Homo-oligomer: A and B are copies of this chain.
Amino acid sequence: MDMKLKLPYETEVSCSKCNLLKKCMPTGLNHNELTRIDSLVSQRIRVKRGNDLFRFNNGSQALYIIRTGYFKTVISTNDGRDQVLGFHMSGDSIGLAGELSDLYSCRVTALEDSTVCIVPFSNVEQIANSINGLHSHIRHLYSIEINRENSVMLFLGSMNSEERVATFLLKLSSTQEEHGFSPHNLNLKMSRYDIASYLGLKHETVSRTLAKFIKSKLINLNLRELKIINRVALTSLSIDKHH
């Protein structure tokens, strides 16, 4: 199950040369600090599609930063219920929850072949004081995560199925755009089941809602290739009636 493959892999790069650096570390580091950054990362691993990026239940206490690929995080109860908590792509940090409650188990599954940098908090602790803004950067990562979860709670708690799906698609689209991809053509990495779980719906409802969007010419959809063709209408369906 735990199919972390050790290096080497072709994309092995130091942090200081990584093009994700500005997303994953504080900005404005001087040369001195930059050279220290590399020592934060204890490991760079590959995770193959369908496999879990495991977090040992206690004490792991590391930040997992996605270099390439796509993940979902899933919480499950001991009576077997699952809930997808989120999707994550390159530049995102996961593992912030740290020590987990004993009530639930949480796993992080690769939805495509991925590479991940592991930053143990103990390393952060050791050198953070000598790197300007690293602590507040970590805090920033946390607050991003909390804000993300807040908006998930919002749609889980108060939106109907159309609003949920529309919001989901728009969010996906803007994330794509931030990563330099087209905001109109989405390549869904997750199954309808994953989407359904994430949105608190059943997969049939997701299918039907997407079908409705197709019929009313808001989107085109072929398998997992989705094209947004009427963003305005989609936005007016979603909860955030802005831009």
Specify which of B136, B153, B241 is in contact with A156 (CB 8 Å cutoff).
Answer: B153
**Residues on B with beta carbons closer than 8 Å to the beta carbon of A20:** none
Write out, one digit per residue, whether chain A residues 135-146 have a CB within 8 A of any chain B CB (1) or not (0): 110111011011
**Residues on B with beta carbons closer than 8 Å to the beta carbon of A145:** 146
With contacts A81-B158, A96-B146, A142-B146 taken as known, whether A151 is within 8 angstroms of B104 at the C-beta atoms is yes
Q: Which listed segment binds B: A43-51, A110-118, A121-129, A175-183? A: A121-129
- Of chain B, the residue at the smallest CB distance from A148 is B101
A150 touching B239 by the CB < 8 A rule? no
- Of chain B, the residue at the smallest CB distance from A81 is B158
How many copies, total? 2
Does chain B have a CB within 8 A of A99?
yes
**Residues on B with beta carbons closer than 8 Å to the beta carbon of A199:** 157
**Residues on B with beta carbons closer than 8 Å to the beta carbon of A138:** 139
Minimal beta-carbon separation of A148 from chain B (angstroms): 9
A242 touching B103 by the CB < 8 A rule? yes
Specify which of B75, B146, B241 is in contact with A154 (CB 8 Å cutoff).
Answer: B75
B150 touching A99 by the CB < 8 A rule? no
Does chain B have a CB within 8 A of A197?
yes
- CA of A135 to CA of B145, assembled, Å: 18
A97 touching B146 by the CB < 8 A rule? yes
Minimal beta-carbon separation of A234 from chain B (angstroms): 15
- CA of A103 to CA of B150, assembled, Å: 11
By a beta-carbon cutoff of 8 Å, the part of chain A in contact with chain B is 75, 77-79, 81-85, 96-101, 103-104, 106, 121, 125, 128-129, 135-136, 138-140, 142-143, 145-147, 149-154, 156-158, 197-200, 239-242
